[in-house]
Structure 1
Amino acid sequence: MAGKDVALILDTHFARTTAVPSELADAFHDVYIPIHPNEHIIAAAERADRERVCETGRWLVRHGTDRCSVTVGLALVAAVGAVDDIPLIQTIGLLSDRFGPLAARALERRPGGTEALLWLADRVTGWGRVYVVEALCRLDDPVARPWLLRRACDGDFLNAYFVGSVAQTAGLHEVITGPCVDAEITDHTGRLLLVMTYSQGMGVTLARYPHAEEVLAAHLCHLDRLGPTASRYCLAAWLASSLGEQGDSGSIGPVRRWQPYRDDYLALLERDDWCETARNALAVKDPGILRLVETSSGRQLRAFTDRPLSGEE
């Protein structure tokens, strides 16, 4: 039944040929407004004159002063709008927690949608990022794969909802095991892997990711090749912790499966150059390093103990 009350108001409005968009400005306060695409609202938009529906939707998005009317306006634009509406959809889509689902679907359905979604994806966070990245994965456009491989995960807990789709759509296991892997892909791969270690109940877990072992092995090789940075140190440390007994068993399964990879991450963290990088970052109060040393597992790492580097022994 969700959306039927909205559809009834729209049908009544469009049945009057003299009705103007502003009459709907305060019409939706007392009914439930779905924030996702809704079959009843779409049907109401398709029953009426297309130009009137577009005009009404655009007016509500541009001039509406509450979330109810703007959401309905965006739903109308999403249902029957044109390519010319993309800038309008992108702009309201920046308020993505509320308007992200409709904006993402609307852009996904239009020519040039991939580029429009990428523009929005670089500017939204939280739930909005989930909606936009999921839309990019559904499109499966090769144009989006470089972005998905490098910037999809921004570190938010909600990344867990789309991490598996990103890995599959972007062909992560094929790219990360290939000969030409840059630093951005390597660092982003680490974030994808880390998210999979706590994604139970939200998305694909590391235990269920079919290419987990080969991606972990390739990630370790690229870390060794690229060398340490503060962010890489933190990521390696979090992965080492998450692959052990302190990790989420529902996401990683039996710890023994990951022991070789955990040992390799810990071996990197023990190296002099990695320790020195972490200590330097701690000295300048790098936020990631500070967060790491606040944990019991972080404090036990060699970089944060009193042991000197091998050249000082």
Structure 2
Amino acid sequence: MSVTTEPGSLGPQISLFDHALRLHRPDPGSPPPRDGEPYPDDERHPRRRRSKTRRDRRLDGADVAVILDAHFGTADAPPNELVDAFCDVDVPIHRNEHIAAAALRADRQRVRKTGRWLVRHSTDRCSATVGLALLATDWADNDVPLIQTIGLLSDRFGPLAAEALQRRREGGQALLWLAQRVTGWGRVYVIEALCRHGAAASRQWLRRHACDGDFLNGYFAGKVATTAHLHEASSAARSTMTWSITRAGC
């Protein structure tokens, strides 16, 4: 999908959320093609080579937390000021203690409002990711459609979408909806979260559809077997078959 930009613009004029929504609408029951790639901000985010200098992983997210503390420390700072604030720092795509701590230090309503705005309107993947990280510290059920939609771009947003949804009261159904519409690594994160959530309503789906033959299934196959009670299901199936054979006189 090509994205038009206005003359002199510094980036794409479509949010990551709208990009996910456009890909979802034509075939709402299936994953978006190629996990939604290319993203509309790809030109701003060329693939970078890994630095040979080893960074202390305990510092991951600390730079993001500093920016958030400064933002929330200014009472009238609007969320849109954060759109380009994270372009020069590494933004974790998984739950991060530094970012979570920054969210907990700020006013809860403001954190929620900022997270929603960034997820819904950000044209940059870094700020959209930070917005989702803020929502992953919250539990408001009315954020579920927002989180599910951005989660369709699951290679980037799957880990935090899964983290956020499992905190919601209706998290089991929300995760199941997303699991049916994502592929690749994003599907791994979502199914692992579905297993952690332990929703009884998802067991039948996990038994029949979680392992689809992809080599990545190995990352969650054991969790699926435990959550879906595969041993009990297979034992019950064998007992039923034995009873049927006996009754038939075979």
Matched residue, 2:125: 67
Query: Counterparts in 2 of 1:2-151, with a 5 A limit?
Result: 2-151=60-209
| Distance in structure 2 (CA, Å) of the matches to 1:143 and 1:36 | 26
Secondary structure (helix, strand or coil) at the match of 2:129 reads helix
Secondary structure (helix, strand or coil) at the match of 1:177 reads helix
- Encode CA deviations 1:179-200: one digit per residue, 9 max, x unaligned: 3899xxxxxxxxxxxxxxxxxx
Q: Relative contact order (C-alpha < 8 Å, sep 6+): which is higher?
A: 2
CA contact (8 A) 1:175 1:181 kept: no
Aligned with residue 161 of structure 1, among 193, 205, 219: 219
CA positional deviation for 1:81:
4.7
CA contact (8 A) 1:45 1:80 kept: no
| Distance in structure 2 (CA, Å) of the matches to 1:141 and 1:64 | 32
Q: TM-score scaled by structure 1?
A: 0.57
| Counterpart amino acid of residue 77 in structure 1 | L
Aligned with residue 232 of structure 2, among 174, 178, 188: 174
Please report the RMSD computed on the Cα atoms of aligned residues, expressed in angstroms: 1.8
Q: Point out where structure 1 has 5 or more consecutive residues left out of the alignment.
A: 183-217, 222-313
| Counterpart amino acid of residue 101 in structure 2 | A
| Counterpart amino acid of residue 11 in structure 1 | D
- Encode CA deviations 1:221-280: one digit per residue, 9 max, x unaligned: 9xxxxxxxxxxxxxxxxxxxxxxxxxxxxxxxxxxxxxxxxxxxxxxxxxxxxxxxxxxx
Larger Rg, first or second structure (1 or 2): 1
| Distance in structure 1 (CA, Å) of the matches to 2:118 and 2:96 | 18
Q: Point out where structure 2 has 5 or more consecutive residues left out of the alignment.
A: 1-58, 243-250
Identity of aligned residues (%): 66
| Counterpart amino acid of residue 140 in structure 1 | G
CA contact (8 A) 2:178 2:190 kept: yes
| Counterpart amino acid of residue 113 in structure 1 | G
Counterparts in 2 of 1:107 and 1:39: CA distance versus 1, 3 Å: same
Matched residue, 2:42: none
CA contact (8 A) 2:138 2:167 kept: no
CA positional deviation for 1:80:
2.2
| Counterpart amino acid of residue 110 in structure 1 | R
CA positional deviation for 1:137:
1.0
Name the one with the larger helix percent: 1
| Distance in structure 1 (CA, Å) of the matches to 2:138 and 2:99 | 11
